Structure 1
């Protein structure tokens, strides 16, 4: 089977598009998963926790 260049370009662009959409959905689901809330809250507050003086 002889594939033309246009067919390969179409396939690679479509595969890349669906791959990036799926990856974005996975990242959003991970970020908003209820069991990860404590981890993200702790990370957000960890910057403020150890500020007892100027940076040395």
Structure 2
């Protein structure tokens, strides 16, 4: 396999694989049932502040 063949392979199938991976990651966040987990993860940094104010 020459450099040009490898470059052509990476330009075509590499781009397709990166696009599929990106769409999968974005779609994964919008799947049904993930809303509560994402909300908990987004607000995790504020948990200590809420505990401190309650005391």
Q: Same fold (TM over 0.5)?
A: yes
- Normalized per residue, the structure richer in helix is 2
The aligned length equals 51
Greater RCO (CA < 8 Å, at least 6 residues apart):
2
Structure 1 consecutive aligned stretches of length 4 or more whose deviation exceeds 2 Å: 3-8
Structure 2-normalised TM-score? Answer: 0.73
Pairing 1:1-20 to 2, within 5 Å after superposition: 5-20=3-18
1:4-55 residue CA offsets vs partner (Å, 9 max, x unmatched) = 54333212211110010000010011011121111010111221121117xx
Please report the RMSD computed on the Cα atoms of aligned residues, expressed in angstroms: 1.8
Which ranges of structure 2 fall in alignment gaps of 5 or more residues? none
